Structure 1
Amino acid sequence: MNIRLQLFELEDQKWFPHVIRQGMLDFLRFMISKLGAYKPALPLLQELLERTGRHHITDLCSGAGGGIEGIQQALSQRMGTTIYVTLTDLYPNLEAYRYLQQSSGGALDFIPQPIDATAVPESITGVRTIFSSFHHFPPSVAQAILQDAANKKSAIGIFEGASKKWYELLLLWLFFPAIIFVATPFIRPFKVSRIFFTYFFPLIPLGIIWDGTVSLLRIYTPQMLQHMTNKIDTPGYTWRTGKVGSRTGKHVIYLIGYPAE
Structure 2
Amino acid sequence: MKGLKRIQLFEFEDFEWFPGWLRSCMTRLIVILQSMIRTDQAIAVLIARVYKEKGIMPIVDLGSGAGGMMPDVLGLLKKQGYDSATLLMTDLYPNEQAIAKFNGKEDPSVRYSEQSVDATNMRQSPEGLKTMMNSFHHMRPEQAKKILASAKDARTPLLIYEMGENKMPLFIWWLFLPLSLLILMIMVLFMTPFVKPMTWQQLIFTYLIPIIPICYAWDGQASMPRMYALKDIDILLEDLHGNDYKWEHGAALKPDGKKQGTYILGLPVN
Alignment match, 1:40: 42
- Work out whether residues 164 and 221 of structure 1, in 8 Å CA contact, stay in contact via their aligned partners in 2: yes
Separation in structure 1 between the aligned mates of residue 147 and residue 123 of structure 2, nearest angstrom: 12
Tell me the secondary structure at the aligned position of residue 90 of structure 1. Answer: coil
Which runs of 5 or more structure 1 residues have no equivalent in the other structure? none
Which runs of 5 or more structure 2 residues have no equivalent in the other structure? none
User: Which amino acid letter does the alignment assign opposite residue 93 of structure 1?
Assistant: N
Larger mean CA deviation between 68-77 and 104-113 belongs to 104-113
Tell me the secondary structure at the aligned position of residue 251 of structure 2. Answer: strand
* Aligned positions, number: 259
Shift of residue 92 of structure 1?
1.7
Alignment match, 2:269: 260
> Which of 207, 213, 227 is equivalent to 1:205?
213
Separation in structure 2 between the aligned mates of residue 250 and residue 193 of structure 1, nearest angstrom: 35
Alignment match, 1:149: 151
The alignment-based identity, stated in percent, is 29
Shift of residue 95 of structure 1?
1.0
Match runs of 1:126-141 below 5 Å: 126-141=128-143
Shift of residue 155 of structure 1?
0.2
Tell me the secondary structure at the aligned position of residue 262 of structure 2. Answer: strand
Separation in structure 2 between the aligned mates of residue 118 and residue 201 of structure 1, nearest angstrom: 38
Question: 1:90-130 deviations in whole A, cap 9, x for unaligned?
Answer: 12222134334556833310111221100135461110000
> Which of 87, 90, 93 is equivalent to 1:85?
87
Separation in structure 2 between the aligned mates of residue 176 and residue 43 of structure 1, nearest angstrom: 28
Separation in structure 2 between the aligned mates of residue 67 and residue 235 of structure 1, nearest angstrom: 33
- Work out whether residues 49 and 127 of structure 1, in 8 Å CA contact, stay in contact via their aligned partners in 2: no
- Work out whether residues 88 and 115 of structure 1, in 8 Å CA contact, stay in contact via their aligned partners in 2: yes
> Which of 166, 171, 178 is equivalent to 2:186?
178
Using the size of structure 2 for normalisation, the TM-score is 0.86
Separation in structure 2 between the aligned mates of residue 92 and residue 217 of structure 1, nearest angstrom: 27
Match runs of 1:96-107 below 5 Å: 96-101=98-103, 105-107=107-109
Tell me the secondary structure at the aligned position of residue 251 of structure 1. Answer: strand
- Cα RMSD of the aligned pairs, angstroms, is 2.5
Tell me the secondary structure at the aligned position of residue 5 of structure 2. Answer: coil
Separation in structure 2 between the aligned mates of residue 33 and residue 56 of structure 1, nearest angstrom: 23
Tell me the secondary structure at the aligned position of residue 80 of structure 2. Answer: helix
Using the size of structure 1 for normalisation, the TM-score is 0.89
